[in-house]
Amino acid sequence: MELTIECQKRAVDSKPNALRRSGLIPAVLYGHNGVESLELTVAAKAAEFLVRDAVVKKSRIQVSIPELSWSGQAVLQEVHAHPANRSLYHLSFFAVPS
């Protein structure tokens, strides 16, 4: 089963709590271009399905960022969630070289 997720580039001045209220989860992609990282947002429903199906640090995920014309494989490195209600706070992806 291929796991895919579509992300959008996050604005520099965006507040994480405001993003969550609007149905987006903050995320970051490390290593897509050497040591550079990208701040992203993911739709909350898509992120919940991804976290349900993926194994952290093992599953390869096809990540696409249409506005940057970037698409590639990544590993879900870390998931931050609320300790009581398990709502997602943040996702970290690490790009895998092809």
The pTM of the full predicted model, rounded to 2 decimals, is 0.91
Q: Are 82 and 89 spatial neighbours (Cβ–Cβ below 8 Å)?
A: yes
- As a three-state string, the secondary structure of 11-68 is CCCCCHHHHHHCCEEEEEEEEEECCEEEEEEEEHHHHHHHHHHCCCCCCEEEEEEHHH
What is the domain extent for residue 55?
3-95
pLDDT in tens, 64-76: 999 999 999 999 9
Domain count across the chain: 1
CATH number at residue 36: 2.40.240.10
Cα distances from 75 to residues 25, 62, 70, 72, in angstroms, run 17, 9, 15, 10
pLDDT digits 0-9 by tens, 46-96: 999 999 999 999 999 999 999 999 999 999 999 999 999 999 999 999 999
